[in-house]
């Protein structure tokens, strides 16, 4: 049995959904289908999730939402009409869209979560109707029905692993395909809470593990995961297979193909993952598998880069003589509800690296003010934009000289680094770099390593 | 005016003290002399400080201390007798040694501190007597007299910078040389508290800054600081001059010539330091100066290595998603009164590096137990011995490719690294390595970099 998850671009319109239908129909073992909300149909299109968030805002502000509601309905209608779905089936979807604004929510956060989740919630219902209509019986499965429980973090929820027991009870002996909306679960109080954006991958992984699937297929719009971003290197090497940990490190540093939290249930359940292309389903795609299944041939599997970081640099003599020095800094971070990513230190220096997408200017200002007042550093610098490159490969475990192959081409190209962090993870080397140099650096490293092989 | 500090090996016996006397006599501007306790006269000799610690232990345990007391007295007698010092002058020293065991102490820690400090305390008195006897008038200056105040940390005290005001009042217009014992100060309660071992360097630096000396001479038993440990490389390059920050980084990682905390008062006061050899006083030695005074000619100034570290490795999925994760670890460290040195992190991994000389097995066991119980990591490893190599040079600031010159020779020699940390400090690169590979690695890096120039 396979769990097959389809992303927003694979479900953007009727034409795409036809491809999905063909894929499902072709293989009876594709039993559980996890779906995203309809994504972009063209470059400047708006995703249904974003339309729903605009609708949510209008609801809170009590402004006229007629236009946005129509736009949302049109998206679902266009898909339904592509398959000549009867009008009453679409009326049921419309009714739920209208009803969203009239429900009671525990807080604005839960309101936003519920509106956003309806992108998937309604799409899963619609897809079940379409498939049945096309002659492949399908049933919508509400995450509530299978006890998909999450914590109280309304818009960045964490999955409760106890739910695996209830998910495992789902009856798979039926001839119906089971259509599960991705991206959200229910809190103990029965409210909808969503994972972070892109979180349908997480639902897919949870279902695959809960049901002990033989394979978790993750359908998207690329035929493989490439060793480097194709916008930097033309026709880069495709990755045929990699380990869970490699995928996790690459996702973290910018490989957006697969959500970095979605790997955890797969690791824990030993579920093999196959990234595939909805528009090229015959291509083998990329397999993400346990380390024992991989025959490594190259030292480096992939090179990722991301500019989503900021950094704080702090200097004070004798800073690490003091027991509890970093503790005081972390207490300041906690006070402002700031999470940090990495904290490389020298003798008298400390650099703290943050994910800037998780920070507001207010948090940054408050943190810097408190650090200046409490810690009294000699130097305190804030770098609003900080690039990170991650060179990842199981082949680097214990491999002597991996770092040489990375820094030598940078020297040759006159590119300087702000930070090098090797050693905490055995399968990756992390480089800190000025964001405007990152792409040149990735290119230099790629050319050196992938030409060597 | 110069402050001249002499280490224990320069004061080990009468012959050495004669050299010190000649150095002082030769230059009238050597006005303030800071002295250590008598050190080792030969390889297997015992330092007077260690004899005093044995005496302290006997006092606490109330066991017979007659022999150890005689041994201590003999050391001072041997020096006095070398210069035919009158017997009554030595009787005064003897009386203070006997009296040590009869005084009241606030705690065992303060008892140990007071006994240890008497190595310097008595030696400074003896040296003032000897110099005066030899025709160079000298006066013993008790740190109490000049208000050299420290905090309550009995055996690893931190200096109170308010004392600079009282030190500045010391009358230098006298024709006498002023002999100041190193290593200790007085707490607010009037108790003796010592700096960490080797702390006479700190007293010298404090005196030089408090008195705005033109130069702080630090006499020891080497004619220069070398770019690398001479036990690893034969006839290594001597460092003619380096910056404060370079010295600080090198001291931290094993260059024992100069105490790493002693550099701070010099930095803050802009005091130039000259490391010189008591047995080769004409040699220029090594100057440690503000960065503006250095004309840099090489990319790397020195390479230090130290095996005094331990490391903890911890892996748990999603560990850095959680605000306050590291905070909980640091709270555990604080509970066990453990200070850490560095904390490089990956996505799901954290390595914490400790100075093992500051840890007891009991602390380690308690910490590991609490981390296992509270954090529940997937993996928790303790590496009792962890080597650190520090490659230091102002020339590395913004220099592209510094890392390449370090890691390439390691690759050629087949030496693998456990950790690389570049970036928190701009003038150094820190490498983590298996202790048994450290010397080979230092040799490979030295040969590559110092042959290139």
- Helices marked H in B324-381 — which ranges? 325-335, 361-375
CB–CB of A348/B427 below 8 Å?
Answer: no
CA distances from A69 to A72, A289, B95, B311, B401 (A): 5, 43, 97, 58, 57
Q: Which two tokens stand for residue B88?
A: 């009554």
- Give the confidence band of A325 by pLDDT, cuts at 50, 70, 90: confident
Q: C-alpha dihedral over A358, A362, A365, A367, to 10 degrees?
A: -60
Q: Which residues lie closer than 8 Å to A62 by C-beta, 6 or more apart?
A: none
Maximum separation of any 2 CA atoms in chain B, in Å: 74
Give me the mean pLDDT over the A260-270 stretch: 91
Which helix or strand (DSSP H or E) is residue A48 part of?
helix A48-61
Q: Which residues of A touch B403 (CB under 8 A)?
A: 403, 407, 417, 420
Closest chain A C-alpha to B453 CA, distance in angstroms: 17
By C-alpha distance, the chain B residue nearest A428 is B346
Q: Which residues of A touch B407 (CB under 8 A)?
A: 401, 403-404, 407
**Is A313 assigned a ligand-binding role in the annotation?**
no
Is the CB of residue B398 less than 8 Å away from at least one CB of chain A?
A: yes
How many other CB atoms are found less than 10 A from the CB of residue A183?
Answer: 30
Which residues face B185 on adjacent strands?
Answer: B193
By C-alpha distance, the chain B residue nearest A329 is B327
Q: Report the phi/psi class of residue A379: left, alpha or beta, with left for phi > 0 and alpha for psi in -120 to 50.
A: beta
In this predicted structure, what is the pLDDT of residue B308?
92
- Strand ranges, E, within B122-237: 138-140, 177-181, 184-186, 192-194, 215-220, 225-226
In this predicted structure, what is the pLDDT of residue B215?
98
In this predicted structure, what is the pLDDT of residue B200?
96
Closest chain B C-alpha to A433 CA, distance in angstroms: 10
In this predicted structure, what is the pLDDT of residue A275?
96
Q: What would the pLDDT profile of A54-80 be if each residue is shown by its tens digit?
A: 999 999 999 999 999 999 999 999 999
In this predicted structure, what is the pLDDT of residue A301?
94
Percent of chain A with pLDDT over 90: 79
Residue B323 to residue A333, Cβ atoms within 8 A:
yes
Q: Which residues of B touch A391 (CB under 8 A)?
A: none
Is the CB of residue B422 less than 8 Å away from at least one CB of chain A?
A: yes
Residue A421 to residue B417, Cβ atoms within 8 A:
no
Q: Which residues of A touch B429 (CB under 8 A)?
A: 420
C-alpha B27/C-alpha B35 separation (Å) is 17
Residue B324 to residue A340, Cβ atoms within 8 A:
no
**Residue whose structure tokens are 């810097």:** A368
Q: What would the pLDDT profile of A438-453 be if each residue is shown by its tens digit?
A: 999 999 999 999 875 4
Is the CB of residue B343 less than 8 Å away from at least one CB of chain A?
A: yes
CA distances from A53 to A48, A123, A382, A429 (A): 9, 16, 32, 38
A408 closest CB neighbour out of B408, B410, B432 = B408
**Is B221 assigned a ligand-binding role in the annotation?**
yes
Closest chain A C-alpha to B87 CA, distance in angstroms: 45
pLDDT tens track of chain B, all 453 residues?
Answer: 999 999 999 999 999 999 999 999 999 999 999 999 999 999 999 999 999 999 999 999 999 999 999 999 999 999 999 999 999 999 999 999 999 999 999 999 999 999 999 999 999 999 999 999 999 999 999 999 999 999 999 999 999 999 999 999 999 999 999 999 999 999 999 999 999 988 999 999 999 999 999 999 999 999 999 999 999 999 999 999 999 999 989 988 888 888 888 999 999 999 999 999 999 999 999 999 998 888 766 789 999 999 999 999 998 887 766 667 788 898 999 899 998 888 888 888 889 999 999 899 999 999 999 999 998 999 999 999 999 999 999 888 767 788 888 999 999 999 988 889 887 677 899 999 999 999 999 999 999 998 754
In this predicted structure, what is the pLDDT of residue B348?
84
Is the CB of residue A58 less than 8 Å away from at least one CB of chain B?
A: no
C-alpha B453/C-alpha B435 separation (Å) is 28
C-alpha B302/C-alpha A166 separation (Å) is 63
With 70 as the cut, is the pLDDT of residue A296 above it? Answer: no
**Is B405 assigned a ligand-binding role in the annotation?**
no
C-alpha A125/C-alpha A17 separation (Å) is 13
Closest chain A C-alpha to B366 CA, distance in angstroms: 17
Q: What would the pLDDT profile of A161-220 be if each residue is shown by its tens digit?
A: 999 999 999 999 999 999 999 999 999 999 999 999 889 999 999 999 999 999 999 999
CB–CB of A390/A253 below 8 Å?
Answer: yes
Is the CB of residue B358 less than 8 Å away from at least one CB of chain A?
A: no
C-alpha A441/C-alpha B265 separation (Å) is 41
Closest chain B C-alpha to A209 CA, distance in angstroms: 16
CB–CB of B443/B416 below 8 Å?
Answer: no
- Give the confidence band of A321 by pLDDT, cuts at 50, 70, 90: low
Half-sphere exposure of B352 (CA within 13 A, CB side): 22
Is the CB of residue B411 less than 8 Å away from at least one CB of chain A?
A: yes
CB–CB of A72/A51 below 8 Å?
Answer: yes
A327 closest CB neighbour out of B331, B337, B351 = B331
- Give the confidence band of A345 by pLDDT, cuts at 50, 70, 90: confident
In this predicted structure, what is the pLDDT of residue A14?
97
- Give the confidence band of A15 by pLDDT, cuts at 50, 70, 90: very high
Which residues face A421 on adjacent strands?
Answer: A430, B421
Rounded to 5°, angle at Cα B141 from B135 and B144: 170
C-alpha A144/C-alpha B102 separation (Å) is 79
In this predicted structure, what is the pLDDT of residue A166?
97
Residue A424 to residue B267, Cβ atoms within 8 A:
no
Is the CB of residue A425 less than 8 Å away from at least one CB of chain B?
A: yes
Residue A350 to residue B424, Cβ atoms within 8 A:
yes
C-alpha A114/C-alpha A405 separation (Å) is 49
C-alpha A129/C-alpha B29 separation (Å) is 98
Is the CB of residue B331 less than 8 Å away from at least one CB of chain A?
A: yes
Is the CB of residue B301 less than 8 Å away from at least one CB of chain A?
A: no
Q: Which domains does chain B have, with CATH numbers?
A: 2-221 (3.40.1160.10), 303-452 (3.30.2130.10)
Is the CB of residue A343 less than 8 Å away from at least one CB of chain B?
A: yes
Residue B411 to residue A430, Cβ atoms within 8 A:
no
In this predicted structure, what is the pLDDT of residue B401?
80
Closest chain A C-alpha to B52 CA, distance in angstroms: 27
Closest chain B C-alpha to A195 CA, distance in angstroms: 13
In this predicted structure, what is the pLDDT of residue B61?
96
Q: Which two tokens stand for residue B342?
A: 């560095």
Q: What would the pLDDT profile of A124-146 be if each residue is shown by its tens digit?
A: 999 999 999 999 999 999 999 99
**Residue whose structure tokens are 């016996």:** B13
In degrees and rounded to multiples of 5, residue A86 shows phi and psi of: -60, 145
Among candidates A33, A35, A75, which has minimal Cα distance to A51?
A75
């Amino acid at each position: 049995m396979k769990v097959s998850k389809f992303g927003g671009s694979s479900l953007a319109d009727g034409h795409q959904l036809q491809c999905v239908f063909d894929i499902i129909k072709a293989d009876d073992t594709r039993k559980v289908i996890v779906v995203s909300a309809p994504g972009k149909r063209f470059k400047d299109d708006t995703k249904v999730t974003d339309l729903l968030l605009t609708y949510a805002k209008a609801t809170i502000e009590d402004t006229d939402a007629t236009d946005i509601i129509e736009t949302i309905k049109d998206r679902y209608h266009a898909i339904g009409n592509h398959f000549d779905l009867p009008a009453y089936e679409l009326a049921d979807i419309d009714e739920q869209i209208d009803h969203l604004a009239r429900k009671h929510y525990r807080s604005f956060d839960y309101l936003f979560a519920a509106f956003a989740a309806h992108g998937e919630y309604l799409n899963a219902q619609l897809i079940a109707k379409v498939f049945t209509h096309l002659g492949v019986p399908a049933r919508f499965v509400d995450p509530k029905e299978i006890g998909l429980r999450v914590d109280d973090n309304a818009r960045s929820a964490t999955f409760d692993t106890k739910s695996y027991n209830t998910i495992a009870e789902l009856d798979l002996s039926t001839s119906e395909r089971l259509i599960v909306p991705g991206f959200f679960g229910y809190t103990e109080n029965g409210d909808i809470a969503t994972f972070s954006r892109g979180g349908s991958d997480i639902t897919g992984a949870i279902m695959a593990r809960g049901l002990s699937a033989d394979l978790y297929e993750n359908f998207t719009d690329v035929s493989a995961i490439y060793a480097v971003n194709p916008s930097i290197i033309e026709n880069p090497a495709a990755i045929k297979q990699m380990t869970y940990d490699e995928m996790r490190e690459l996702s973290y540093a910018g490989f957006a193909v697969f959500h970095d939290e979605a790997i955890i249930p797969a690791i824990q359940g030993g579920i093999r993952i196959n990234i595939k292309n909805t528009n090229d389903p015959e291509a083998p795609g990329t397999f993400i598998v346990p380390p024992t299944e991989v025959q490594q041939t190259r030292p480096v599997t992939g090179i990722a880069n991301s500019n989503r970081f900021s950094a704080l640099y702090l200097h004070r003599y004798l800073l690490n003589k003091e027991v509890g020095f970093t503790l005081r800094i972390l207490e300041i971070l906690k006070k402002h509800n700031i999470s940090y990513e990495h904290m490389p230190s020298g003798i008298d220096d400390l650099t703290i690296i943050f994910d800037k997408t998780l920070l507001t200017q207010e948090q940054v200002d408050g943190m810097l003010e408190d650090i200046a007042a409490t810690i009294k550093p000699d130097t305190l610098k804030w770098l609003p934009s900080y690039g990170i490159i991650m060179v990842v490969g199981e082949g680097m475990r214990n491999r002597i000289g991996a770092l040489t192959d990375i820094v030598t081409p940078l020297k040759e190209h006159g590119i300087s680094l702000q930070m090098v962090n090797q050693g905490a993870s055995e399968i990756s080397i992390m480089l800190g770099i000025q964001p405007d140099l990152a792409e040149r650096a990735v290119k230099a490293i790629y050319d050196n390593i992938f030409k060597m092989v």
